[in-house]
Amino acid sequence: MEFNRVILDVDGAVATVRLNHPEVLNAVSPELIGGLQEALDAIAENASPVRCVVLTGAGRSFSSGANLQGRLESAAGSPKSAAGTLLETVFHPLLRRLRNLPVPLISAVNGPAAGAGMSLALFGDLILCARSAYFLQAFRRIGLVPDCGATWLLPRLIGRARALELSLLGERLPAEAALAWGLINRVYDDEALMPEAMKLARELAAGPSLALGFIRRLYWESECNTFEEQIDLEQRLQRTAGATDDFREGLKAFFEKRPAVFRGK
């Protein structure tokens, strides 16, 4: 299925969402964000439940960041509000939706991931990179500050010192260095990225999807919760998970010494 600057492919329980504006290296624009929202709507409404989502880019880039075409004129006409208004009305609703996805999200970073594009990649629960990929926080070069959740995500993923280094210096972070820093999970040769991403996606899609969604929620909320709030949330979600058919199947398969067949129920 094609949406505005986004392509959606659903293969069984795995949905691949591909940013598709290669002429500008998949730069993030209101149109592309709208296409992403429509793709997520289609995934939610799919007759056969999607149990894992893969996010990647078309061509040689994941995303080069915000599309700056036309921004000079809009900034000149309304310099105090142009950038902030777009964030509030267009970008933030998508970020909240990605954070609250009920299924695992894999980011397959096939090339540069800069600015807002880097933030989109970092919303993945598993972040896989092509060896040629790199990350970039280049806001300082045009007199702006990091946005799209970067200043919340980066200190939690790599620590304050490295987050500030990326943001103040605006230097490229190659995939291998990102792996060493703990920013991403795995690096593959370029041609192996998507086959490996799909392999992991199919493995996750075959898992207990309700429990995997709960795991995702637990780790997102742990960043803000107190210890008491977090163990209370664990208890509540464990009670729900323990009442699922998947738990009963997993337990039965364990004692029968066979692979479990999970159905997401």
User: Per-residue pLDDT for the chain (265 aa), expressed as one digit of tens each?
Assistant: 999 999 999 999 999 999 999 999 999 999 999 999 999 999 999 888 999 999 999 999 999 998 876 554 555 555 555 678 899 999 999 999 999 999 999 999 999 999 999 999 999 999 999 999 999 999 999 999 999 999 999 999 999 999 999 999 999 999 999 999 999 999 999 999 999 999 999 999 999 999 999 999 999 999 999 999 999 999 999 999 999 999 999 999 999 999 999 999 9
Sign of the torsion formed by the C-alpha atoms of 11, 17, 21 and 25: negative
Global pTM? 0.94
Architecture of domain 2-205 in this structure? Alpha-Beta Complex (3.90)
